[in-house]
Chain A
């Protein structure tokens, strides 16, 4: 018996992507040397810098894959992959634009009314407009179909009431829109996925109240957003009324297999290497071999999925597998590094490496939660394997 259930084809970067990689590396090295940024762990969900995002916009590194007729750059998925993985490996502050660039933009291009699309997309591409995701709620985490924030039909639009939670970056400067999943018909308990719709809500509308929530490290990167009789015009419904569920499922698939799932703590390894190269023990060698073997394998898998997406397949099981393994690895990497780093690095609260390590440890619990908990992912994998 020999079955090949999983496909992660070899992807060779085209010459233009390799060329682009050099440009990105030079830019990052220069920015880091100039104090344009200080590397951080989990930079895509905790490193907010509107200024840095605008610089990327100026370079043409936002909205890269979007069609030129909408204001994008018409470049390949692999070129975008190169830019994102370089940013992540360097620990650059890419949080401000991350959501808009990764999923809101593609969603708006695909499903928004043309005039709304044309008003928003060019501003995302230039790095002047950011987006947040409004999926979770106080009573809704993994069980997304249980959302109860509602939109009622009124003259010319909809009236929104309720609360969204964990919207990363919604409080940030320039975060103008939240792509929000709302209940537009009363809950039918026999068909909970029906009656949900997605809206583009302008966060500057009266009645919207965004409040930051501090995480366990005291950092504010996510939010609670209250909507009180917020008016949303008909033009800002995304796609069909009632078609929100399928849209959200597709969006989550996009979220799952990117390099941000295994590289969130990579910068800690890179900086630790500066110390570890001196008189390495056998244990140090073993740990470095193990973690680099995992990174290389996860990258192969993640890139293989990018290749499949580029050729038009939808490798859902592969994406779920990779996210589950990758996010576990982000934590494991820190745990392994602790075993081989000198004590004074672990005790210290000053200096780049101790800061990165602490930041990493304090942020990594969110890795296995965001974008679908690992338990939910395992359930999806089991279903795909045919046992559930």
Chain B
């Protein structure tokens, strides 16, 4: 994934640097909607990154969108940008209209009757801050992407470990705003996989930020007469942390590229996503632990901004299927290959198609 020499990425980074400040992130957690930040995102067209140009999009590629999400994860942006891109992608799968206003995606058990949506979903990210909710409804013989207005739903406020909204939504025969059928074969697994990938990409950005904060702090903080980064024990911990950051970035990039290569999420892309979400476990466990260890008590305070990324990392590893659940899914897949196909399946990713 290239994230340099790219006007979309540069625009996103500038907006995040200016408007996703520690104060804004803390205020958002306390319930204040960061209007200026969202307005800048919306006006720049970033929220339409994954919308096809003929559907009102800005002509960006899938990889542009992933680069934006990596930067967003790195900046801990407290708005449903990832969710709006995700929902836009899902709506586009079914050829539906996308407005660019705040939208989120609900994953759960749903049913449709007379143009009304019923069912419920837990942990719907940023639901309370969105205008619309998109869901995939799988009924016998028919798969549909549907959109409803958030204000029509029953919403129970909940949050993830980072204080990001993760609301429970009850759809009590809610009027469907628009509905459409995605391509043959598209199903709920694809939606969960895309969600998992988005979290991996955000996490790659967040863990990169945690590493930068850690390097910076280790050079500033003086103990025993020298910067703590000069102690070999810390150098080795931080070097191992850098390895985790490199690994999760490589794994997330590989999965993002596989999705970008495919028309949607094919089996190969699914395997790459399973790989990235599985690899996320150690990256987050080991990386966040070193980040906090090096920052000492200072990094354990609410005042320090390290927790903006570490709390998100601890939440994101669980969302859209935890890293461990994904490891088992990937393991099942690997077992289906058998011993003799193990290596050929590993090399197939990079071989000329």
Residues of chain A at the chain B interface (Cβ within 8 Å): 1-6, 8, 10-15, 17-18, 21, 25, 85, 89, 266, 269-271, 273-274, 276-277, 280, 282, 284-290, 292-301, 303-304, 317-318, 321-322, 324-325, 375, 377-379, 381-382, 385-388
User: Which residues of chain A come closer than 8 Å to B211, judged between CB atoms?
Assistant: 5
26 A-B residue pairs with Cβ-Cβ distance under 8 Å, sorted by A, are: A1-B209, A4-B249, A8-B246, A10-B257, A14-B352, A15-B352, A25-B344, A89-B343, A273-B338, A286-B328, A286-B331, A288-B330, A289-B278, A289-B329, A290-B331, A292-B342, A292-B346, A293-B327, A297-B247, A298-B247, A299-B347, A325-B243, A378-B235, A379-B232, A379-B236, A381-B239
Contact across chains for B235 and A289 when beta carbons are under 8 A apart = no
Q: Which residue of chain B lies nearest to A303 when distances are taken between CB atoms in the complex?
A: B350
The CA of A5 and the CA of B276, in the complex, are separated in Å by 19
Judged by a CB distance under 8 angstroms, whether B50 is at the interface is: no
Contact across chains for A288 and B334 when beta carbons are under 8 A apart = yes
Judged by a CB distance under 8 angstroms, whether B114 is at the interface is: no
User: Which residues of chain B come closer than 8 Å to A266, judged between CB atoms?
Assistant: 343
| Closest beta carbon of chain B to A285's beta carbon, Å | 3
Which single member of A3, A282, A296, A322 contacts B328 (CB below 8 Å)? A282
Contact across chains for B347 and A301 when beta carbons are under 8 A apart = no
Contact across chains for B246 and A6 when beta carbons are under 8 A apart = yes
Contact across chains for B239 and A289 when beta carbons are under 8 A apart = no
Contact across chains for A382 and B245 when beta carbons are under 8 A apart = no
B174-201 Cβ-contact flags toward A at 8 Å (1 or 0): 0000000000000000000000000000
B185-227 Cβ-contact flags toward A at 8 Å (1 or 0): 0000000000000000000010011011101001100000001
Judged by a CB distance under 8 angstroms, whether B317 is at the interface is: no
The CA of A1 and the CA of B209, in the complex, are separated in Å by 6
Residues of chain B at the chain A interface (Cβ within 8 Å): 3-4, 13, 16-17, 70-71, 74-75, 205, 208-209, 211-213, 215, 218-219, 227, 229-230, 232, 234-236, 238-240, 242-243, 245-247, 249-251, 253-254, 257, 272, 274-276, 278-279, 281, 324, 326-335, 338-339, 342-344, 346-347, 349-352
Contact across chains for B250 and A21 when beta carbons are under 8 A apart = no
User: Which residues of chain B come closer than 8 Å to A293, judged between CB atoms?
Assistant: 251, 274-276, 278-279, 327, 330
Contact across chains for A385 and B215 when beta carbons are under 8 A apart = yes
Contact across chains for B236 and A287 when beta carbons are under 8 A apart = no
| Closest beta carbon of chain A to B54's beta carbon, Å | 28
Contact across chains for B274 and A270 when beta carbons are under 8 A apart = no
Contact across chains for A276 and B242 when beta carbons are under 8 A apart = no
User: Which residues of chain A come closer than 8 Å to B352, judged between CB atoms?
Assistant: 12-15, 17-18
Contact across chains for B254 and A273 when beta carbons are under 8 A apart = no
Q: Which residue of chain B lies nearest to A11 when distances are taken between CB atoms in the complex?
A: B350
User: Which residues of chain B come closer than 8 Å to A298, judged between CB atoms?
Assistant: 247
User: Which residues of chain B come closer than 8 Å to A15, judged between CB atoms?
Assistant: 352
| Closest beta carbon of chain A to B62's beta carbon, Å | 14
User: Which residues of chain A come closer than 8 Å to B257, judged between CB atoms?
Assistant: 10
| Closest beta carbon of chain A to B324's beta carbon, Å | 7
Which single member of B208, B253, B333 contacts A5 (CB below 8 Å)? B208
Query: Do A2 and B243 contact each other (CB < 8 Å), given the known contacts A13-B350, A273-B342?
Result: no
User: Which residues of chain A come closer than 8 Å to B242, judged between CB atoms?
Assistant: 5-6, 317, 321, 381, 385
Contact across chains for A301 and B238 when beta carbons are under 8 A apart = no
Contact across chains for B324 and A286 when beta carbons are under 8 A apart = yes
Contact across chains for A297 and B254 when beta carbons are under 8 A apart = yes
Q: Which of A21, A284, A293 has the most chain B CB within a 10 Å cutoff?
A: A293
Contact across chains for B219 and A2 when beta carbons are under 8 A apart = no
User: Which residues of chain B come closer than 8 Å to A289, judged between CB atoms?
Assistant: 274, 278, 326-334
Q: Which residue of chain A lies nearest to B9 when distances are taken between CB atoms in the complex?
A: A2
Contact across chains for A2 and B205 when beta carbons are under 8 A apart = yes
Contact across chains for A295 and B13 when beta carbons are under 8 A apart = no
| Closest beta carbon of chain B to A154's beta carbon, Å | 43
Query: Do A301 and B250 contact each other (CB < 8 Å), given the known contacts A18-B351, A387-B229?
Result: yes
The CA of A3 and the CA of B73, in the complex, are separated in Å by 11
The CA of A273 and the CA of B340, in the complex, are separated in Å by 9
Q: Which residue of chain B lies nearest to A267 when distances are taken between CB atoms in the complex?
A: B343
User: Which residues of chain B come closer than 8 Å to A325, judged between CB atoms?
Assistant: 243, 247
The CA of A325 and the CA of B247, in the complex, are separated in Å by 9
| Closest beta carbon of chain A to B326's beta carbon, Å | 7
Which single member of A2, A321, A377 contacts B70 (CB below 8 Å)? A2
The CA of A143 and the CA of B219, in the complex, are separated in Å by 26
Query: Do A294 and B235 contact each other (CB < 8 Å), given the known contacts A10-B253, A289-B329, A289-B331?
Result: no
| Closest beta carbon of chain B to A114's beta carbon, Å | 38
Query: Do A387 and B215 contact each other (CB < 8 Å), given the known contacts A6-B245, A300-B250, A379-B232?
Result: yes
The CA of A276 and the CA of B332, in the complex, are separated in Å by 11
Q: Which of A285, A304, A375, A388 has the most chain B CB within a 10 Å cutoff?
A: A285
Which single member of A270, A282, A321, A386 contacts B246 (CB below 8 Å)? A321
Q: Which of B272, B324, B339 has the most chain A CB within a 10 Å cutoff?
A: B339
Q: Which of A2, A290, A298 has the most chain B CB within a 10 Å cutoff?
A: A2
Q: Which of A11, A14, A282, A378 has the most chain B CB within a 10 Å cutoff?
A: A378
Which single member of B227, B275, B344 contacts A296 (CB below 8 Å)? B275
Q: Which of B229, B254, B347 has the most chain A CB within a 10 Å cutoff?
A: B347
| Closest beta carbon of chain B to A26's beta carbon, Å | 12
Contact across chains for B334 and A292 when beta carbons are under 8 A apart = yes
| Closest beta carbon of chain B to A340's beta carbon, Å | 10
The CA of A2 and the CA of B208, in the complex, are separated in Å by 7
Contact across chains for B253 and A13 when beta carbons are under 8 A apart = no
Contact across chains for B350 and A280 when beta carbons are under 8 A apart = no
Q: Beyond A5-B242, A6-B250: 12 further Cβ-contacts under 8 Å? A: A2-B75, A8-B246, A11-B350, A284-B335, A289-B326, A292-B334, A297-B250, A297-B251, A321-B243, A382-B229, A385-B239, A388-B235
User: Which residues of chain A come closer than 8 Å to B246, judged between CB atoms?
Assistant: 5-6, 8, 301, 318, 321-322
| Closest beta carbon of chain B to A277's beta carbon, Å | 5
The CA of A4 and the CA of B213, in the complex, are separated in Å by 13
| Closest beta carbon of chain A to B178's beta carbon, Å | 34
| Closest beta carbon of chain B to A38's beta carbon, Å | 16
Which single member of A5, A294, A375, A386 contacts B219 (CB below 8 Å)? A386
